Amino acid sequence: MRGKGHRLAAAGSAALIATSVLAGCGSGDGGITINVYKYPQENFQKIVDRCNDQADGYEIVYHKLPREADGQREQLVRRLAAEDDGMDVLALDVTWTAELAKAGWIKEFTGRAKSEVEDGTLETPLETARYEGKLYGAPDNTNVQLLWYREDLLEGLGVQPPKTWDEMIDIGSRLEADGNDKTPGLVQATGKQYEGLVVLYNTLVSTAGGHILDEDGTRAVVDDGAVKALEVLKEFATSDVVDPSFSNAVEDDARLAMEGGKAAFMLNWPYVYAAAQKVESLAPNLKWAPYPSIDGGAANVTVGGINYGVSSFSRHPDESFDAVLCLRSAENQKFAAINDGVPPTIEAVYDDPEMAEPYPMKDAILETLKNASVRPRTPAYQNVSTVISTILSPPANIDPQRTAERLRAELQDALDSKGVLP
Amino acid sequence: MSHALKTSDETAEPALSPKAKAALSEGKKAERRLGLLLCAPAILIMAAVAGWPILYSLWLSLQRYDLKFPDRTEFVGLDNYVTVLTNPYWWNAMWVTVLITVVSVAVELVLGMALALIMHRTLVGRGIVRTSTLIPYGIVTVVAAFSWRYAWTPGTGYLAETVAGGDPVLTEKIPAIMVVTLAEIWKTTPFMALLLMAGLALVPDDLLKAAAMDGASAWQRFTKVMVPVMKPAILVALLFRTLDAFRIFDNLFVLTAGSQGTSSVSMLTYNNLIKGLNLGIGSTMSVLIFIAVAIIAFVFVKLFGTAAPGGDGGGRR
């Protein structure tokens, strides 16, 4: 009964589906169409074309999802809930694996598909594609943040790039004390109420050795490490080196402030490197270092990126798995890294000589990836993320103990699907 | 319904009823059957597109039903209502919604009345004045909301730079609610003005002239003559706008997406239903909104005596 209603809803939902289904039925040689749904990636069509050249008996068609992660997820989950069979391969944010796997919307990778995906893929990205010990995705690209800094400013002070948050704040204030308008000593990070704040907090929590949820993702723990992370975040947000618009900054705001010469430090993804090469004043001075830690050890940076999943409702699962293996092949990952700037998930790609020029920070990325942390793994991740970003915003108002208590209570409600999502 | 309606019914009754009774002949009955038959498709479609979803969401609201946890679906009675009605996010959203509704409708009424008077009295370029007033209402809300968003974004927006001195107003609760209310007022004042202008057309010129002859000032003519005559039109305009404003979603979705506690009840419902995939809690919220809207409509129709649209002129006096 319900399934029928959902299918009806799906039928009405978009002409797009209809056209893609029609295209599937109508291709002249009776071939199979594999519909790939992915965010708009500039040169992805070229990868699709390359795969179509090698494909045996099917044709991949690239459908663009919305640009923003929330919009992508919304479209995917709505259609999956309606058991829409017009989607075959889905590009999934690393945080969605648990949700879609638990709901039974994506297929497990087994046999040849599984062994080929696991072969040579970096462990941390692979970890993001697993749920309850099974593999549900094939890592396409990965991402970790680095500490970006202005070499000229640090040389002026005669200091090395900071290893900890305290050092970073300290260097910032020295630059400020030194200061004229050219050295405001500001630190840029993503503090707006959105996923970027959750990424920042998750990095701090696992660097402090803490946990937000337990291993199974069924209980909210918010332990001492998580409280320590709250303290660091609050200290940073209320320090005088933080950008006044920190509580409203997303990745691009941070990048623009850095490019505008307003900052000495920035915690951001590697994409900023390519963008900065177009800014003459910044390009020669922009350098990178590992993300700052809390006590001087290595930071456990939150891993981002995209995995390919295969829809449970796909009518051509075998061809879909085959298409996934091609789309994420080492060759194509290198192509995407060089042309679209997304870090590969296959370790060998980093050693390719062609990577050296567009990816001078590849060693730092690789090293950071080895210690990287994954975000809480639960089907209710969307709710968990919303609760965290709501409670932590604005970061300057954090009261570590009380905020931790609130997190514990509201996260538990979210996990039990009892709470109201803010 | 209203007092006026009753009297007109009573006076009409003696003249009509004997005729009506006598007329219930075979032919009339057949005509009535045909009438019902002709209405039936519309009634069936309404039941299918409006009735069924309402019943279905009522049913869903009594269940623990989260698409993320398909194996945990169960009947929980009124638990979801307890959860929602004891939740601070829900009440915050309710107050935000009520605040936006009350402020925007009140301001719109005043502005709309002023605009209606201007449009009514304009002698030159009447067409151009009326058309240009209606432009904001003609722009797609989401498009307009985007232009508001950019206008209030520091760096790119002229309003953020000039009025707010470069502050990101959309990221703080109270300023953001003010901006949303302003966008709402800007968009729908023309609609209010249009409805009020229709009401103004009801005011007989003779009445105004007579009042002027009796020495009533302009203000007295407005409050003692025009407003009472326009009352039905004003109430219909208020009812429409209140219901509309209470369901505010699109403006808010684009401007703040409900962050920093600026969610309206519709925004919160969307977040739980579509984003959170929690059909139980989300349906509970939509049922509560449905009840709230029904209460608003009831208050207007029963207590203020607003005529239903298409009703026979409510109170023409």
pLDDT in tens, A44-64: 999 999 999 998 889 999 999
Kindly give, in sequence order, each residue whose CB lies less than 8 Å from that of residue B135, ignoring residues fewer than 6 positions away.
B190
Indicate the pLDDT class of residue A407, thresholds 50, 70 and 90: very high
**Letter for the amino acid at A319?**
E
Reference B310, options B236, B239, B246; nearest CA is: B236
**pLDDT score for B132:** 86
Kindly give, in sequence order, each residue whose CB lies less than 8 Å from that of residue B23, ignoring residues fewer than 6 positions away.
none
Is residue B233 packed enough to be buried (19+ CB in 10 Å), middle (13-18) or exposed (0-12)? buried
How many angstroms separate the CA of residue B46 from the nearest CA in chain A? 17
Calpha distance B59→B78 (Å, rounded): 11
Minimum Cα–Cα distance from A101: chain B residue: B68
Partner A contacted by B175 (CB < 8 A)? no
Judged by CB atoms closer than 8 Å, whether chains meet at B272 and A421 is answered as yes
Domains, in order of start, for chain A: 14-143+303-361 (3.40.190.10), 146-289 (3.40.190.10)
Model pTM score: 0.79
Token pair listed for B303: 């207590």
**Secondary structure string (H, E, C) spanning chain A:** CHHHHHHHHHHHHCHHHHHHHHHHHHCCCCCEEEEEEECCCCCHHHHHHHHHHHCCCEEEEEEECCCCHHHHHHHHHHHHHCCCCCCCEEEEEHHHHHHHHHCCCECCCCHHHHHHHHCCECHHHHHHCEECCEECCEEEEEECCEEEEEHHHHHHHCCCCCCEHHHHHHHHHHHHHCCCCCCCCEEECCCCCCHHHHHHHHHHHHHCCCCCECCCCCCECCCHHHHHHHHHHHHHHHCCCECCCHHHCCHHHHHHHHHCCCEEEEEECCHHHHHHCCCCCCCCCEEEECCCECCCCCCCCECEEEEEEEECCCCCHHHHHHHHHHHCCHHHHHHHHHHHCCCECEHHHHCCHHHCCCCCCHHHHHHHHHCCECCCCCCCHHHHHHHHHHHCCCHHHCCHHHHHHHHHHHHHHHHCCCCCCC
Minimum Cα–Cα distance from B52: chain A residue: A5
Judged by CB atoms closer than 8 Å, whether chains meet at B277 and A77 is answered as yes
Stretch A291-311: mean pLDDT, rounded? 94
Average pLDDT value for chain A: 88
Stretch A180-185: mean pLDDT, rounded? 54
Q: Taking a C-beta distance cutoff of 8 angstroms, is the pair A346, A122 a contact? A: yes
Calpha distance A317→A34 (Å, rounded): 9
Interface test with A, best of B57, B60, B68, B86 (most A CBs within 10 A): B68
Calpha distance A205→A201 (Å, rounded): 6
Judged by CB atoms closer than 8 Å, whether chains meet at B68 and A386 is answered as no
ipTM score assigned to the predicted complex:
0.75
Judging contacts by C-beta atoms under 8 Å, the chain B residues touching residue A419 are 83, 87
Reference A128, options A377, A379, A393; nearest CA is: A377
Stretch A148-164: mean pLDDT, rounded? 91
pLDDT for A90-118, tens place per residue? 999 999 999 999 999 999 999 999 999 99
How many angstroms separate the CA of residue B84 from the nearest CA in chain A? 7
Indicate the pLDDT class of residue A185, thresholds 50, 70 and 90: low
Indicate the pLDDT class of residue A193, thresholds 50, 70 and 90: confident
Judging contacts by C-beta atoms under 8 Å, the chain A residues touching residue B149 are none
Residues 79-98 of B with CB under 8 A from A: 83-84, 87, 89-90
**pLDDT score for A24:** 45
Helix axes B88-121, B173-200, angle to 10 degrees: 40
Calpha distance A264→A187 (Å, rounded): 6
Q: How many CB pairs under 8 A join A and B?
A: 73
Strand partners, A288: A148
Reference A60, options A313, A336, A310, A333; nearest CA is: A310
Judging contacts by C-beta atoms under 8 Å, the chain A residues touching residue B84 are 420
Domains, in order of start, for chain B: 86-263 (1.10.3720.10)
A285 pLDDT above the threshold of 70: yes
Minimum Cα–Cα distance from B267: chain A residue: A422
pLDDT for A333-385, tens place per residue? 999 999 888 899 999 999 999 999 888 999 999 999 988 999 999 999 988 99
Partner A contacted by B272 (CB < 8 A)? yes
**pLDDT score for B178:** 94
Q: Taking a C-beta distance cutoff of 8 angstroms, is the pair A379, B68 a contact? A: yes
Reference B239, options B134, B309, B138, B141; nearest CA is: B309
Judged by CB atoms closer than 8 Å, whether chains meet at A104 and B259 is answered as no
**B83, B84, B259: residue with CB nearest A193:** B259
Token pair listed for A344: 């590969």
Reading chain B (317 residues) residue by residue, the pLDDT tens digits are 344 444 444 444 444 444 455 557 888 899 999 999 999 999 999 999 999 999 999 999 999 998 888 888 899 999 999 999 999 999 999 999 999 999 999 999 999 999 998 888 877 888 888 888 889 989 999 999 999 988 888 777 788 888 877 777 887 889 999 999 999 999 999 999 999 998 998 889 899 999 999 998 989 999 988 988 888 889 999 999 999 999 999 999 999 888 888 999 999 999 899 888 889 999 999 999 999 999 999 998 888 776 655 454 444 43
Partner B contacted by A248 (CB < 8 A)? yes
**A192, A193, A420: residue with CB nearest B84:** A420
A265 pLDDT above the threshold of 80: yes
Cα angle A353, A269, B148 (rounded to 5 degrees) comes to 135
Is residue A220 packed enough to be buried (19+ CB in 10 Å), middle (13-18) or exposed (0-12)? buried
Judging contacts by C-beta atoms under 8 Å, the chain B residues touching residue A192 are 171
Judged by CB atoms closer than 8 Å, whether chains meet at B258 and A103 is answered as no
Partner A contacted by B157 (CB < 8 A)? no
Judging contacts by C-beta atoms under 8 Å, the chain B residues touching residue A193 are 171, 259-260
Stretch A262-285: mean pLDDT, rounded? 90
**pLDDT score for B15:** 45
